[in-house]
Chains A and B, each alone.
Chain A
Amino acid sequence: MSEYEKLGLRVGLEIHQQLNTGHKLFCDCPTLLDETDGGKLERYLRPVVSELGQVDTAAFFEWEKGKRFLYQIPQKSSCLVECDEEPPHPMNKDALALGVAMTLAFNGQPIDEIFVMRKVVIDGSNTSGFQRTAIVGLGGRVKDVDGDISIQTVAIEEDAARKIEEGQDFVKYSLDRLGIPLIEISTGPDIRSPEQAKRVALLIGQMLRLTGKVKRGLGTIRQDLNVSISGGVKVEIKGVQDLDLIPKIIENEARRQHELLKLREELRSRLDKKQFAERFQIKDLSSLFASAKSRLVQSELRRGGIVLGFRVPGFKGLIGRELMPGRRFGTEISDYVKALAGLGGIFHSDELPNYGITKEEVEKVVKELSIEQTDGFILVVGPKDKVEKASSVIRDRLLQAFDGVPKETRAANEDGTSKFMRPQPGSARMYPETDIPPIASKSLLEMAQKLIPPSPEEKLKSLLKLGLNEEVAKQILNSPRLDLFEHLYMKYGGRVSSMVIATLLENTLKYVKSQGGNLDKITDEVIETLIANVYDGKINKDSIPQILLEFSMPDAKETLSSIIAKYSKISDDELIKIIENIINENKEEIRAKGDKAFGYLMGKVMERVRGKAEGKRVAELIKQVMQE
């Protein structure tokens, strides 16, 4: 039994992939990221009445003081729909049909009548305050070597606005990404190991790519992971962009849940919730820190802030317990305080003295809070209202430690760890999008049939038929640029061989990168321009690597067209002239070489025209000239 089987690891994936449709999901704007300036908007969002439920007025006011949302309105890729100033247009049929196609590819069941829903999101990332989303298919499965993985749902939804900047009391977004269609594929919690999760994500990603209808590049695919172990709870980890990170994130989360369960046992052996609540104490320690050396404490106090001290019964040694590499239980509490009270973080007994807080101060705190054997303490510094808010946040999080793993949504960090983002929403905050009538999936079936991705085996066969060798065909099959290859082959395959195109996409680009070229400069348009020039006979295929290198070097300033001009092919007439000149210049040597004259001449000519003429043609012309 593997380590993860013992832990009872269960993982489900939610894969979000942007679709490369001609226009957005609910309007006619192109699906482009763009920086053109079309003005600004300032908005507020408030929870709708029923969602508030029993929230009291004071809490509402707290919320109401909350964030201001600023929106940049890109001119090319947003309209009144993104500004929430116009109702949605009818839903993009291409996107829906792709959802149905993927459902069929999984052997699932398309929903007979598709309903668009509003999922309430009030972090500003949707100008409307909700994300529009629709389930198009249920059920089905994908095959994995360790067993089939079930597919729960296939949904089509709109992407959110792109965050640009976040300040104390505002968040700034660009509206360019808002409304780009996403397909969301959710698997059942059937995955049993970190490596399996990556395999399944790769497989589904490849199926999506094989439709030829998805976007590629950074940020176009995002994975959310639902992870639990026995005794733990299903924790949602959002926003994993790098597939290679998936196993590490799962390992870390499994470990975190395991550690939290161990911490719970230790805690319970010391005291119970009731005893904790009785001895838990909060005290204003501002005067104690009046002459503190810590700069942070000083600057907060000078601005009228306060220092609160918390006696935390039973937590000695546990606040500093490591849950994930570099992240302690104290870090978890800190994250809660940051997210829910808007403070920088906390200090705790397991890490002090440190951060400018001295041993003497720690001793005073211990005395002031009457800290005994297994007690720990926490210090919070900041503006009064925020610190007071933090105190209930801290108390709640400490109490949750007696229950084990809290139900929460976490955000993936780039090092494979994760941090608290928000509590998981209780009941689904969904209600119907009344501006869009339901859509019968029957009407999409014909379109969908054509979009079902071929199996990788089928695709490989068809790539081999285009004249690729097996190695390159496999590379292309797994390449994110598969769609670009097909586009270029369709358009230029008549005169440019499939191997030339594939080699450029797979090998030349790698070579250019290894030589220090900047691949960001080599857009699809650049690649297509080169292939088109080969097609028109203007440049030689052998000159492509050199052109790309010159174009993409960090200090390169020349335009693509001027580089291409330098490498443009020499016409036969010009070539003949060059050959004749060289013969004239070297008459004696040629005569002396006798039979070997051809080789000598070939070398001389190639020296002059390398990159601008093909050797084969040069040889033909030399023979022709020599006969004359």
Chain B
Amino acid sequence: MLEGYRGKAFETLKSLNVDVGDIIEIEKNGIKVEGILMPSYSEDDSIVVVKLDNGYNAGFSLSGAQVRLISKRLRVDQSEYRENREKGEVRIISTGGTIVSRVEYETGAVRPALTTEEILRFAPEIQEIASVSAEILFSILSENMKPEFWIKIAESVKRAFDEGHEGVVVAHGTDTMTYTAAALAFSLIGLPGPVVLVGSQRSSDRPSSDSAINLISSVILAKEAPFGEVVVNMHGESSDTYTVAHRGVKVRKMHTSRRDAFQSINDKPLAKVFPKEKAIKVLRSDFIKRNDTIKASPKFNQNVFLLKFYPGLRPDIVDTLIASGVRGIIIEGTGLGHTSTDFLEVFKKATKEGIFVGMTSQCLFGRVNMNVYQTGRLLQQSGVTPLGDILPEVALVKLMWALGHEDDLDAVRGIMLTNLVGEYNTRHSLDLFPRWDHE
């Protein structure tokens, strides 16, 4: 196969019966190089990419060059995917992302390494912690995650507990991990053990990856943590010292690239995990305990919308949403929970039609309070429901789930205002806000 090649280079290589992985020779301007043909992602279709003896890749333009096939590639046996679905103490469910993957040094390709054997080879310490079994559910990029996949993950988690596992680890891309965490948290009731979502911010193909430490501490949590909750477990600081288990409905990715990107918002994490010492430090006592009456109810109605208000946003967008058949809207309002008063009419219209309209804040930290200013009161009179300190994305997922179970506006409102799994925190202490260094 001539991966990535087009046009001139493709024609030349094809006519010589050369494939990616074959050894070729290029002679140009008196310089001769030999190397393995690599896939090309060049914009220039005359470029041929070769891995030289010394391991470097280099691109050569074929104009004025002579190419010769030296030898065909030796086929490398690709180890097959094998799943070990036999019962262990901890089940690892893979959904994608780069938390566990391996590099083929020969071609430089990165491919997922998700079988039990591969996971154990990647992080052998896990054997000292628990017997694990692995399931490869799918391999999709985090940004391509959809509610139908949430359902599959929820079912798979339930199955793992039904088989008698003590805890479940879900390997997931980090970008939308918190949406999945919220979806699982609302769908799974009476969890017999922790469901630990874990990912990596530095891909596992590099020696400095955070994935091994995150994965090891996730297995520790899944086996030993006293809670039956969905948590997100990632680095607690930039150093490789400990990870933090955040409640799945109170966590957000707050940095594009740092290892400690995930932070609890309006809440404290449930536990710290020290992978070197293989120890858990539980940070609070009000967690949901392990239970043995697991029920899964993963039903989601996707006819919802997350509306971020900004100065100049026109109310007719809401008319469009109503016309499109939306069943619920979460507003990410300003400050304590506001939009411009221009929206009063459209929100009144929406709620009259049985559409749920809920208010969260784009401040993220703190809760909405729609009694302080006149606008907030008017919005409430138009039917907008204040949602306390629920994070906007969590409110959206919760609304999908609520609408998946109820149609009646009052019933939906009732669900949205009930604290189900710790998503709605009514007490904020002074220390629930990060302080940046100013000097």
Contacts and interface: CB of A to CB of B under 8 A. Distances in A.
Interface string B285-322: 00000000000000000000000000000000000000
A223 to B, nearest CB: 18
Interface in A31-90: 40-52, 57, 60-61, 64, 80, 83-87
B113 A129 contact: no
A553 interface: no
A427 B208 CA distance: 21
Given A83-B238, A117-B56, A46 B212 contact: yes
A555 to B, nearest CB: 36
Given A60-B124, A86-B257, A128-B202, 12 more contacts: A47-B207, A48-B205, A83-B238, A108-B31, A112-B59, A113-B49, A115-B56, A135-B52, A139-B30, A139-B31, A153-B56, A434-B110
B59 A115 contact: yes
Contact of B61 (A85, A112, A133, A135): A112
Interface string B203-216: 01111110011000
Given A113-B42, A117-B56, A49 B33 contact: no
A289 B194 CA distance: 55
A88 to B, nearest CB: 11
B394 to A, nearest CB: 26
Given A50-B104, A428-B54, A57 B127 contact: yes
B6 to A, nearest CB: 15
12 contacts: A40-B239, A41-B238, A41-B239, A49-B118, A49-B121, A50-B103, A85-B257, A86-B257, A109-B31, A113-B58, A117-B57, A129-B206
Interface stretch (A119-127, A231-239, A355-363, A612-620): A119-127
B239 A129 contact: no
Interface string B59-81: 11100000000000000000000
Interface in B145-165: none
B238 A85 contact: yes
B57 A50 contact: no
B366 to A, nearest CB: 28
Contact of B58 (A41, A48, A114): A114
A487 interface: no
B105 A50 contact: yes
Contact of A112 (B30, B60, B102, B257): B60
Contacts of A440: 44
Interface in B87-109: 102-105, 108
A595 to B, nearest CB: 74
Interface in B227-261: 238-241, 256-259
Nearest to A44: B240
Nearest to A64: B125
Interface in B107-133: 108, 110, 113, 118, 121-122, 124-125, 127
B108 A432 contact: yes
B356 to A, nearest CB: 40
> Is the interface on chain B under 10, 10 to 19, 20 to 34, or 35 or more residues?
35 or more
Nearest to A43: B240
Interface in A114-173: 114-115, 117-120, 122, 127-130, 133-135, 138-139, 153, 155
> Is the interface on chain A under 10, 10 to 19, 20 to 34, or 35 or more residues?
35 or more
B373 interface: no
Given A49-B113, A438-B42, A438-B59, A115 B206 contact: no
B152 to A, nearest CB: 27
A128 B208 contact: yes
Contacts of A46: 207, 209, 212
Nearest to B259: A85
Contacts of A432: 57, 108
A519 interface: no
A130 B205 CA distance: 11
A431 B42 contact: no
Counting from the closest, the 7 A-B pairs by CB-CB distance are: A129-B207, A113-B59, A428-B55, A430-B55, A115-B57, A49-B102, A42-B239
A117 B121 contact: no
A111 interface: yes
A52 B205 CA distance: 12
A135 B113 contact: no
Interface in A389-407: none
A431 B58 contact: no
Interface centre among A43, A134, A135 (most CB of B within 10 A): A43
A432 B41 CA distance: 12
Contacts of A109: 28-29, 31
Given A428-B54, A429-B105, A111 B207 contact: no
Contact of B208 (A61, A84, A115, A138): A84
A44 B202 CA distance: 13
Given A112-B60, A112-B61, A113-B49, A51 B42 contact: no
Contacts of B270: none
B168 interface: no
B36 to A, nearest CB: 12
Contacts of B60: 111-113
Nearest to A111: B58
Contacts of A127: 208
Contacts of A429: 55, 105
Interface centre among A45, A48, A87, A155 (most CB of B within 10 A): A48
B206 A48 contact: yes
B47 interface: yes
Contacts of A61: 124-125
B138 to A, nearest CB: 21
Interface centre among B56, B102, B204, B239 (most CB of A within 10 A): B56
A440 B45 CA distance: 12
Contacts of B212: 46
Contacts of A120: 207
Nearest to A113: B59
B47 to A, nearest CB: 5
Contact of B202 (A84, A111, A135, A139): A84
Contacts of B205: 48, 431
B208 A113 contact: no
A77 B28 CA distance: 42
Interface centre among A127, A431, A440 (most CB of B within 10 A): A431
Nearest to A73: B238
Contact of B206 (A111, A114, A118, A438): A118
B239 A43 contact: yes
A101 to B, nearest CB: 18
Contacts of A60: 124
Interface string A418-447: 000000000111111010011010000000
B207 A48 contact: yes
Contact of A87 (B110, B121, B257): B257
A119 B207 contact: no
A628 B105 CA distance: 91
Contacts of B33: 138
A130 B206 contact: yes
Contacts of A86: 256-258
Contacts of A428: 53-56
Contacts of A111: 58-60
A133 B29 contact: no
Contacts of B105: 50-51, 427, 429-431
A326 to B, nearest CB: 34
Interface in B184-218: 202, 204-209, 212-213
A235 to B, nearest CB: 17
Contacts of B57: 115, 117, 432
A41 B110 CA distance: 28
Contacts of B204: 48-49
A50 B113 CA distance: 10
A113 B205 CA distance: 24
B206 A128 contact: yes
A84 B209 CA distance: 9
A128 B118 CA distance: 22
Nearest to B33: A138
Contacts of A139: 30-31
A64 B259 CA distance: 21
